Amino acid sequence: MAASTEPKEGPNAAFLIVKPMATAARQFVKSLVRPSTIVYPFERLEDPSFREEVKVESGHPIGVGPIWDNYRGVHALNIATCISCNLCAFSCPDLCIEMVTVPGGDPKHPKKCPQIDYGKCSYCGFCSDACPEGCLSMTTRYELSTPNRSEMIYSPQKLHEVFERKLPMNPIRLERPENEDAIRLDAPLCIGCNACSRDCPTSCITMVDTPKPTAKPGEKLPRRIWKEPVINDSDCVRCGTCISVCPKECLFWGTHP
């Protein structure tokens, strides 16, 4: 008969109809109260009222919690603590950070702070990782659309306004340790490699010649360049780049002699 040629049916056909319809009806009743969709420009996840109203299944309100607080959005810049060290611009893989002069520095050493082109930025967060002062950090702000491209470039002042909004931020390093006052040199370890001088963002390290000692008989002089870094303390911004690039770990944080 025809029954033998029919393809095998799995569960009962009535079950195949009734169960999905019951599921849909349950969903319908549930979303009559409130659909999960957020009417975005009118409702925002980060609105305080919305946070109280909608809870995710873990019990945390949406918008609070570890994932949200690590969000990498628009940067916040604290101009007051920025030391113009240029490390953010160095670390940027997209070359979207340019150091521009802001008022506040003396004429000899103009204060330079990062200006970020969000048309290029990939939100990798390297700059805020590199910032030695913790003054550049990433916030939860994500609304960037503008009618023209030049408004995608955020000046330091604009980034400072973002900072003043006190949005949730990625805390990198908010305070500077007490003992980071000056760069000290452990002279016997130095090999005169010039790495610190090369990488210093403010070019305050100069390599000066040191007299090459005469070798005593039987003694082998270390193989090195007979130069030593001298740090111009008034130009140094204490960014710590020289410490991190030194291959022999002969530079360290210390206090003024």
Partner 1 sequence: MTVQSLYGVAALVAGGIAYLLPFLPPWLVTIIADVVFGAILLAASMINTIVLIWYERKLLGRFMDRRGAMHVGYAGLLQNFADGLKLFRKNTYKPREADSLGFYGGPTAYMVSSLVIFGILPISTGWDNGSLPLSLLLALVIFSFAPLFIFLSAWSSNNKYSLMGGMRSAAQMIAYEVPILIAVVAVVVLSGSFDLTTIVSEQRNYWFALPLFLALIVFVAGMLAEMERIPFDLPEAEAELVEGWNTEYGGMLFAFFMLADYLRALIGSILIVLLFLGGWTLPSYVPAALTSFPLAGIFWFMVKTYLVFGVFVWVRASLPRVRTDQLLRVGWMRMVPLALVSVLIAAAVVAAHCLPVLGCVPGLGS
Residues that bind partner 1 (CB under 8 A): 2, 6-7, 17, 20-21, 23-25, 27-28, 30-32, 35-37, 39
Residue closer to partner 1 by CB (options 21, 189) is: 21
Q: How far apart are CB 9 and partner 1 at their closest, in Å?
A: 9
Give the burial class of 163: count Cβ atoms within 10 A of its Cβ; 0-12 exposed, 13-18 middle, 19 or more buried: buried
Residue closer to partner 1 by CB (options 16, 189) is: 16
Ordered DSSP codes for 43-98: S-TT-HHHHHH-B-TTSSBTT-SHHHHT---SEEE-GGG-----HHHHH-TT--EE
Task: Give bridge partners of residue 230 from the DSSP assignment.
Answer: 206
Q: How far apart are CB 102 and partner 1 at their closest, in Å?
A: 43
Say which amino acid occupies 56. Answer: V
Residue closer to partner 1 by CB (options 31, 206) is: 31
Q: How far apart are CB 56 and partner 1 at their closest, in Å?
A: 14
**Distance, CA of 128 to CA of 97 (rounded, Å):** 12
Residue closer to partner 1 by CB (options 41, 177) is: 41
What three-state secondary structure class fits 131?
coil
Q: How far apart are CB 35 and partner 1 at their closest, in Å?
A: 5
Residue closer to partner 1 by CB (options 34, 220) is: 34
